[in-house]
Amino acid sequence: MDKKIFAIFGDPVSHSRSPLMHNSVFKKLNYPASYIRVHLLDGTKLRKTFFDLKLSGANITVPHKEAAFEACDEIRGFAKKVGVVNTIVKENEKLIGYNTDADGFMFAIEEFDTPKHILILGAGGTAKALSARFLQDGIKVDILNRSEGRLNYFKNLGCECYTWGSFQEKKYDLIVNTTSAGLKDEDLPAPIEIIDTLLNTTDFVADAIYGKITPFLQLAQKKNITYKDGADMLLGQGVLANELFVSHILNTSDINQAMKESFLY
Ligand code: NDP
């Protein structure tokens, strides 16, 4: 088998652990492939860059997941529902788009009590995927975003939607930060007064950001709230993406084990 090349597209992308995770699987399970990082500034160039680099597949991270949906020839499974793609596989010179983020997140929160009412902070690609997945399980979802622009999608799904200015305090079982606040900066995902009040009533908190304890999680930690960073979500989505990359010829638990080991480096 020819050696295949896979990549992660993002901006920023230097923080991404995906190359370590996927290369760990390829190396440990003797699969002839390597996985690289591509710093992509313009999402409309994704398709051309994919073919120029002769890739067999890719993952897509912030802020290009919606552009990735547009770049594909065919969309399969959950990605169809949400219009957001985090995994692309080339099949007969066609780009097939998938979304493995939402199931990766469900895996991550398995150890939390089953939530009935969730607040999602942010209204980007990750928020779309998670809200649709939660609603599928009958969980009530509210959205709080910095700006109004992206909220229509969520209103149409049946979510209660707020901006910072219109937010009304409630009790949630779980609050999930899907904004990129805290990724490259020390920002909170909403003004401190809102976050502080929210954290006084919630039982569980999760952040999609991994590799650091964000200011949001630091506050949760101070208040003794059970929290998770994005590492388990990353692992979950990574295992599902890798299965697609290798056309399911490797065993899932072997992929999971080899990928987990990469978190120790
Ligand atoms: P998008 O660019 O699609 O959306 C970003 C969202 O964050 C928007 O709602 C935006 O609000 C909001 N936002 C950005 N900056 C700030 C800020 N300073 N304060 C408040 N809100 C802000 O991003 P994605 O949904 O693709 O990714 C979001 C985060 O989730 C990233 O940090 C990414 O790394 C992480 N992630 C982690 C995964 C994992 O496996 N652990 C998987 C997927 C994502 P507005 O609409 O006002 O611009």
Domain ranges of the chain: 4-99+232-262, 103-229
- Residue located nearest, by CA, to atom 36 of ligand 1: 208
Are 68 and 46 in contact by the 8 Å Cβ rule? The answer is yes
CA angle 234, 237, 239 (to 5 degrees): 105
Instruction: Give the architecture (CATH level 2) of 103-229.
Output: 3-Layer(aba) Sandwich (3.40)
Q: Kindly indicate the confidence band of residue 152, based on its pLDDT and cuts at 50, 70 and 90.
A: very high
Average pLDDT on 18-42 reads 98
Same topology between domain 4-99+232-262 and domain 103-229? yes
The phi, psi pair for 129, rounded to 5°, reads: -65, -45
CA 132 to ligand 1 center in whole angstroms: 16
The answer to whether the CB of 99 is under 6 A from ligand 1 is: no
User: Residue 82's pLDDT is what?
Assistant: 87
The answer to whether the CB of 258 is under 6 A from ligand 1 is: no
The CATH code belonging to domain 4-99+232-262 is: 3.40.50.10860
CA 236 to ligand 1 center in whole angstroms: 18
**99: Cβ contacts below 8 Å, ≥ 6 apart:** 77, 78, 79, 82, 84, 85, 86, 87, 129
**Candidate of 16, 37, 62 to mutate for ligand 1, largest count of ligand atoms within 8 Å of Cβ:** 62
User: Which of 110-114, 219-223, 229-233, 243-247 shows the lowest mean pLDDT across its residues?
Assistant: 110-114
The phi, psi pair for 52, rounded to 5°, reads: -60, -40
Average pLDDT on 38-62 reads 97
Are 182 and 126 in contact by the 8 Å Cβ rule? The answer is no
Average pLDDT on 197-226 reads 95
pTM over 0.75: yes
User: Residue 123's pLDDT is what?
Assistant: 97
- What amino acid positions are annotated as catalytic residues? 65
The answer to whether the CB of 147 is under 6 A from ligand 1 is: yes
Greater confidence, 265 or 144? 144
Tell me what the pLDDT averaged over the chain comes to: 95
